[in-house]
């Protein structure tokens, strides 16, 4: 399967970066091809600006957005890797959605509501947290994150299979981290539609 990974963490020494590397290894060992968009490294511009709207009304999208859309269109599945910050994705990732998931690329809209145009077999979120699983479950935050992502990617963009892999309580415990990296490697190797 052709997998496009969209990755948002500024630090190449972070645990998220280790996850990215492990996923790439797993996908390669499982016979999948993998392309990566590293949003911080490429200094993606996340600001939805007047040029985005101008291009919209002219029927097109800005050149940098077009390149992202081409990569998305070439993939069979998408994986999003980022840490949870303030119970949400990093703003850079949110800006990526704002600018790249445009009308007539990701969805259409009429008086019945949105209709998704993405044809990917699945979308998987890999999110790390500092907080423990119990906190995320008891507060309903895990459910809220899942519901918002499903609304965006299933309800609006049309991808039926939207999954979350939460890696909770990422602290300094080497054993916990090793366990998560093994999990991510296996997940990549056994990636299925």
Ligand X SMILES: Cc1cc2nc3c(=O)[nH]c(=O)nc-3n(C[C@H](O)[C@H](O)[C@H](O)COP(=O)(O)O)c2cc1C
Q: CB-wise, 79 or 156, nearer to ligand X?
A: 79
H or E element in which residue 182 lies:
helix 174-189
Strand partners, 107: 103, 116
Residue (of 16, 138, 157, 1) closest to 149 by Cα position: 157
- In 2-80, which ranges are continuous DSSP H helix? 15-29, 50-57, 63-74
Q: CB-wise, 110 or 174, nearer to ligand X?
A: 174
CB of 144 to ligand X, least distance (A): 12
Name the one residue in this structure whose structure tokens are 């800006």. Answer: 95
Neighbours of 107 (CB within 10 A): 19
CB of 145 to ligand X, least distance (A): 10
CB of 149 to ligand X, least distance (A): 16
H or E element in which residue 78 lies:
strand 77-83
CB of 2 to ligand X, least distance (A): 26
Q: CB-wise, 26 or 30, nearer to ligand X?
A: 26
d(C-alpha 163, C-alpha 171), whole Å: 23
- Applying CB under 6 A, the residues found at the interface with ligand X are 9, 14-16, 83-87, 128-131, 170
Q: CB-wise, 14 or 163, nearer to ligand X?
A: 14
């Amino acid at each position: 399967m052709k997998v496009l990974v969209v990755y948002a963490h500024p630090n190449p020494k972070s645990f998220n970066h280790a996850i990215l590397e492990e996923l790439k290894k797993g996908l390669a060992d499982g016979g999948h091809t993998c392309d990566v968009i590293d949003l911080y490294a490429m200094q993606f511009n996340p600001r939805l600006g007047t040029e985005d709207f101008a291009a919209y009304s002219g029927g097109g999208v800005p050149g940098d957005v077009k390149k992202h859309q081409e990569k998305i269109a070439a993939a069979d599945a998408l994986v999003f890797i980022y840490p949870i910050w303030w119970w949400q994705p990093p703003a850079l990732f949110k800006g990526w959605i704002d600018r790249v998931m445009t009308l007539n690329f990701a969805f259409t809209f009429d008086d019945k509501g949105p209709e998704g145009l993405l044809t990917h077999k699945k979308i998987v979120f890999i999110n790390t947290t500092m907080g423990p699983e119990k906190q995320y479950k008891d507060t309903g935050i895990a459910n809220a994150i899942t519901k918002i992502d499903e609304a965006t990617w299933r309800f609006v963009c049309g991808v039926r299979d939207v999954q979350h892999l939460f890696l909770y309580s990422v602290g300094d415990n080497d054993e916990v981290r090793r366990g998560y990296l093994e999990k991510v490697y296996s997940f990549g190797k056994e990636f299925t539609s």
